[in-house]
């Protein structure tokens, strides 16, 4: 049984159940853990009808059952035939499956600690001779160790994930004139909590701040670092610092936080009234603005990652966010795919976002995840923040005359188009609004010498729907009971809109309805252009001309760092000139960047780095600004480049 490869308690129990049924020919295998609540908790049962399992989800230790006897007494229970089972445990006679002839129940013990119980049943009598008993006891010992290990791992994972969730913001603030959607997608089940974060802050006076960031690593340590960086950046932004200055001060803080090196962050300030954007980033993928003209990445405010000792002031850039356009901030898990450059992932992101730019922000965010993240689960955590400026509500007051209906439709269409409402939804709005306004123009002031006022109110709602109110101050003529050519206006409105309400009183009539959010086609996974196969990291060490040459090739991701990191660090500590050649890298992640920085710091002025001249790894080097940091830490300005140094 491949117990060592099972990482979670459920996986361990599944391996045990399927393995023992194959190895022993058992008909039913059950794995339980012992809780501090005096109960056995069933983790997995193979071979027993699903509809009968609910009764055995938890089992009191006092229950007269073979499993509980084995757990209580810490001694195996052997029943070699059905008669022995029924005689020893009459309470389970009714729950035995037809054909059950023998069973064994064994305590799961590690040293003297009770971990749980293991039960196996057979469809034929079993003598349970000394050899068979010894074998099952040995199996139970292995299972106990694996169950304890997996249970502790589950507990640590849950603790890390709980810590991470507690450090992320709760509800997004309600912001007038702004629609916001946030999505956080943890990595595939079984991995640990990561260090991604996001924040949306109402700074007052119409200002909004949006920030995202990513800390290297996983688990409670990464979550703790994430929490410190997020809370620090939040404090700086609330104190009134702009994006660049806030990141400069965060840089100083990151230098004092173990594990914060090579963390990335992006920060954008939005003026809700003017649409003015101000942003800066630290080694983070660029924000994306998606509007009627397509997608535009905000690259001018880019700077190196946090914790790489930036010597120059960070700078910020500005732009204008049009009404109806959407600002997207995200973490690298959304755009990174094994074997391709970050730029290719950015192109896919822009294509998908542009194709769904008319969708409500919540649907847009969901569509990005559906199209860009592997359906089997994200390889890395993904955080997405989508923010859209909503147009100011449209308010019109015109004479209730047929002559102005075209103006009402025209102004409503222009307003909706500027708000990013798709053309087909604009047409529905104009049609429904035209019907409501036309009814008022026809019926409200039929006895008046001149047309009275007609009020129109349009509000774009956060989900992309449009609220409509058409009001007059007249005495509306009701529709006939038998609608021939009459009454079709309200019928059409009801067919196009939702929540239609007609309120008539002494002050006039108001027709209110809601155009639902536009229906956007389901997202399709965007085809990746990656063709490169995964390559495990390798390291080769040679000594020539008085220098040590270390060549690293393949993929320097988390697995690659685990494979070659010890060798690299040992050579950095050895002494003497050191040449680190990473031109053969295919894939480089922030974890790999962290290893290279550690090598540079340990080797000091003895280290020279040959960095990738092109490809995905080079793009990561440029995005993180690590080349200068490697040169500084190696005391070899200009040597951390694509050029080959002279030993």
Q: Could you give the residue range(s) of every CATH 3.30.450.40 domain in the chain? A: 3-162
**Distances from the Cα of 28 to the Cα of 21, 22, 92, angstroms:** 7, 11, 15
pLDDT digits (tens, 9 = 90+) for 526-555: 444 443 445 788 999 999 888 999 999 988
| pLDDT over 60 at 203, yes or no | yes
Structure tokens at 142: 């292995």
Q: Could you give the residue range(s) of every CATH 3.30.565.10 domain in the chain? A: 394-515
The architecture that CATH gives domain 538-633 is 2-Layer Sandwich (3.30)
| pLDDT over 50 at 634, yes or no | no
Full-model pTM: 0.63
Task: Give the DSSP letter string of 31-82.
Answer: EEEE-TTSEEEEEEEESS-GGGTGGGSEEETTS-SHHHHHHHHTS-EEE-SH
**What is the spatial distance between Cα 119 and Cα 260, in angstroms, rounded to a whole number?**
47
Q: Are strands 207-218 and 194-204 parallel, antiparallel or unpaired?
A: antiparallel
| Helix boundaries (H) for 444-557 | 488-496
Structure tokens at 269: 């300030």
Q: Which of 6-10, 264-268, 298-302, 575-579 has the lowest mean pLDDT?
A: 6-10
| pLDDT over 80 at 645, yes or no | no
Structural fold of domain 394-515: Heat Shock Protein 90 (3.30.565)
pLDDT digits (tens, 9 = 90+) for 493-510: 888 889 999 998 888 899
Most confident of 42-46, 207-211, 308-312, 622-626: 207-211
- Which CATH code fits 3-162? 3.30.450.40
pLDDT digits (tens, 9 = 90+) for 46-99: 988 877 777 788 999 999 999 999 999 999 999 999 999 999 999 888 888 989
**What is the spatial distance between Cα 37 and Cα 258, in angstroms, rounded to a whole number?**
38
pLDDT digits (tens, 9 = 90+) for 414-463: 888 877 777 778 888 988 898 898 888 888 887 777 889 999 999 988 77
pLDDT at 519: 66
Q: Could you give the residue range(s) of every CATH 3.30.750.24 domain in the chain? A: 538-633
Structural fold of domain 169-389: Phosphatase 2c; domain 1 (3.60.40)
Task: Give the DSSP letter string of 119-166.
Answer: EEEESS-----HHHHHHHHHHHHHHHHHHHHHHHHHHHHHHHHHHHHH
**Distances from the Cα of 301 to the Cα of 261, 278, 317, 335, 359, angstroms:** 20, 9, 5, 19, 28
pLDDT at 1: 56
pLDDT digits (tens, 9 = 90+) for 346-391: 999 999 999 988 888 888 999 999 999 887 666 778 899 999 988 8
Q: Could you give the residue range(s) of every CATH 3.60.40.10 domain in the chain? A: 169-389
């Amino acid at each position: 049984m491949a117990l060592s490869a099972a990482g979670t308690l459920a996986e361990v129990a599944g391996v045990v159940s399927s393995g023992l049924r194959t190895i022993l020919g058992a008909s039913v295998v059950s794995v339980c853990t012992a809780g501090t609540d005096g109960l056995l908790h069933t983790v997995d049962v193979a071979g027993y009808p699903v509809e009968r399992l609910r009764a055995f989800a938890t089992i009191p230790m006092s229950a007269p059952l073979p499993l509980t006897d084995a757990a209580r007494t810490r001694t195996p229970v052997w029943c070699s035939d059905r008669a022995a089972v029924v005689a020893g445990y009459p309470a389970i006679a009714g729950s035995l499956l037809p054909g059950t002839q023998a069973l064994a129940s064994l305590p799961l013990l590690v040293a003297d600690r009770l971990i749980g119980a293991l039960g196996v049943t057979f469809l034929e009598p079993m003598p349970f001779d000394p050899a068979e008993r010894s074998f099952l006891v040995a199996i139970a010992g292995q299972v106990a160790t694996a169950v304890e290990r997996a249970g502790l791992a589950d507990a640590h994972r849950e603790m890390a994930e709980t810590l991470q969730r507690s450090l992320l913001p709760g509800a997004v603030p309600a912001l007038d004139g702004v629609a916001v959607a946030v999505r956080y997608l943890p990595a595939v089940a079984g991995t640990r909590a990561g260090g991604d974060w996001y924040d949306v802050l109402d700074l007052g006076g119409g200002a909004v701040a949006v920030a995202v960031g990513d800390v290297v690593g996983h688990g409670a340590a990464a979550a703790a670092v994430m929490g410190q960086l997020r809370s620090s950046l939040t404090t700086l932004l609330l104190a009134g610092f702009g994006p660049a200055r806030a990141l400069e001060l965060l840089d100083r803080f990151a230098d004092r936080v173990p594990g914060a090196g090579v963390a990335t962050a992006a920060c954008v300030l939005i003026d809700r009234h003017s649409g003015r954007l101000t942003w800066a980033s630290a080694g983070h993928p660029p924000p994306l603005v998606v509007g009627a003209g397509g997608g535009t990445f905000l690259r001018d405010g880019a700077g190196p990652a946090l914790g790489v000792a930036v010597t120059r002031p960070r700078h910020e850039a500005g732009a204008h966010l049009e009404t109806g356009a959407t600002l997207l901030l995200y973490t690298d898990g959304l755009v990174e795919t094994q074997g391709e450059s970050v730029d290719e992932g950015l192109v896919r992101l822009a294509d998908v976002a542009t194709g769904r730019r008319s969708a409500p922000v919540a649907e847009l965010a969901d569509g990005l995840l559906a199209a860009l993240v592997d359906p089997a689960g994200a390889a890395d955590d993904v955080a997405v923040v989508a923010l859209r400026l909503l147009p100011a509500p449209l308010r019109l007051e015109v004479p209730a005359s047929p002559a102005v209906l075209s103006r009402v439709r025209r102004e409503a269409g222009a307003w909706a188009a500027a708000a990013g409402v798709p053309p087909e939804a604009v047409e529905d709005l104009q049609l429904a609004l035209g019907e409501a306004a036309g009814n008022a123009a026809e019926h409200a002031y039929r006895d008046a010498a001149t047309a009275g006022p007609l009020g129109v109110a349009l509000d774009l709602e956060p989900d992309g729907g449009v609220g409509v109110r058409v009001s007059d101050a007249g005495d509306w003529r009701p529709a006939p009971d038998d609608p021939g050519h009459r009454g079709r206006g309200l019928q059409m409105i009801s067919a196009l809109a939702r929540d239609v309400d007609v309120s008539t009183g002494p002050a006039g009539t108001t027709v209110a309805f809601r155009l639902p959010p536009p229906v956007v086609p389901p997202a399709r996974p965007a085809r990746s252009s990656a063709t490169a196969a995964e390559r495990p990291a390798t390291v080769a060490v040679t000594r020539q001309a008085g220098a040590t040459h270390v060549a690293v090739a393949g993929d320097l991701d988390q697995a690659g760092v685990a494979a070659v990191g010890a060798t690299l660090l040992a050579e950095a500590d050895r002494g003497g000139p050191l040449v680190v050649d990473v031109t053969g890298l295919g894939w480089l992640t922030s974890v790999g960047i962290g290893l290279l920085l550690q090598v540079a710091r340990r080797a000091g002025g003895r280290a020279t780095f040959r960095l990738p001249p092109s490809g995905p790894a080079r793009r990561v080097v440029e995005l993180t600004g690590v080349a200068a940091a490697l040169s500084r830490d190696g005391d070899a300005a200009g040597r951390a480049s694509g050029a080959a140094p002279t030993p």
